[in-house]
Amino acid sequence: MPHKPRKRFGQNFLVDQQIINQIVSTISPKKNDHIIEIGPGKGALTFPLIDYLENIHVIEIDRDLIALLQKKNNIKITIHESDALVFNFDQFKQKVRIVGNLPYNISSPLLFHLLNYRDNIIDMTFMLQKEVVDRIVAPPGSKVYGRISVIMQAFFDTELMFVVPKESFDPQPKIESAILYLKTKKQSLVQNSKPLEEIVKIAFSQRRKTLKNCLKLVLNQSQTDIDLSQRAEMLSVENFVTLMNDYEKQN
């Protein structure tokens, strides 16, 4: 009996072989790579990848899909029945590469979860809603530059690789997708992500207001060299790191 995509898991299965080949080419898997795939689904990406690998670890929450993968009896595939949002990515002894067609409904929380394991991650290649990818790679001054742009760019080199048309999926989603590449920076701009997340969240809490108004309860102009008459979207990632350092001095 064919698997029926489940809305609660945000399932849209990739069925376009040309796009699959393009994603595999972008990942460029090497034999000794330790790759973890989030949400393998029916294995559209999994099986082309294992042609290049000694093994692959996959994280899947849907038991029916796990059963489908198990029926293949492929000894190269290690299946973890888990919710990726609570999965411990530090359990692997070697540094890992993470890939996947991420469900749109958990993409942002999942990226923030993965941020906690960045020291163990070489890079990540994800299919996401194009709108989310645009926000992640956005430069300062852009209308879509915001909290997720600053946080991801502080710890990763970010790049939109290519757009994936709706017709590449079954069922067909209502929105466009894109392939996002995240490479962990050799030297993070900050060591601890939490204070940065705090100040960025406050700064972007009211986008139309100046930083002076947004930050008035935690920081004033005499406590920082950053011009607080600006709006948050005008600050570079480096500016936010300065702002974070000044914020930490007050707390």
Give CA angle at 246 (245, 251), nearest 5°.
95
Q: How far apart are CA 104 and CA 107, in angstroms?
A: 5
101 assigned to a ligand binding site: yes
65 assigned to a ligand binding site: no
Q: How far apart are CA 22 and CA 77, in angstroms?
A: 22
60 assigned to a ligand binding site: yes
Biggest alpha carbon–alpha carbon distance for the chain = 67
176 assigned to a ligand binding site: no
14 assigned to a ligand binding site: yes
| Helices 130-137, 147-155: crossing angle, 10 deg rounding | 60
62 assigned to a ligand binding site: no
8 Å CB contact between 79 and 58: yes
Looking only at the bridges linking them, the beta strands covering 177-184 and 121-129 are: antiparallel
Annotated binding residues for S-adenosyl-L-methionine, as ranges? Answer: 12, 14, 39, 60, 83, 101
Annotated binding residues, as ranges? Answer: 12, 14, 39, 60, 83, 101
